[in-house]
Amino acid sequence: MNNNIIEIELNNKKDYKNKFNNNRISEELDRYILNETKSVKLKDRITIEIQPKFELTEDEERDLIKMIRLSYKDDLDELKIYEKLLIQQSIKILILGLIILLVYYLSNNLFFISEFILIIGWLLIWEAADIILFSRTENKIKQTRRKQLIHCNIVFKY
């Protein structure tokens, strides 16, 4: 398990504080950190090295660490909600597909219409499988990235 370092150089407090909420990290910093994780393996640990070009008190350092962790915890919570919605959606689509296939089975004496119903039924079942197998995978990777950042080591280098 490697330890990957994300280096952050701060020129002033505006670099890390959200302009709308001083208890949140800035959108630019958030995007930068997430972008830097793209080359990190999912099982590797991350270290964030913050190099401020100004003096931070211990309280400000603790607040910044809290802000970073809170930001990615909120992201993780949202991704978990999204995953639940994906699962619910795929189950509904799967049930609809199965109902349509049942209609096909009961009405296979109408050639053109029954073939159309068969195609729609299988299409819905495939869509449900696609959501479960592939869309959730992307979401799981995003969740893993947020967990890496929530549990990362954050150090200050002056």
Residue 50, both tokens: 């913050």
Model confidence, pTM: 0.82
* pLDDT the model gives residue 108: 64
- Look up residue 12 and give its DSSP letter: S
Strand (E) or helix (H) holding 129: helix 111-130
Residue 73, both tokens: 């915890």
* pLDDT the model gives residue 115: 81
Instruction: Name the stretches of the chain with pLDDT < 50.
Output: none
- Give the model confidence (pLDDT) of 32-44 as tens digits: 999 999 999 999 9
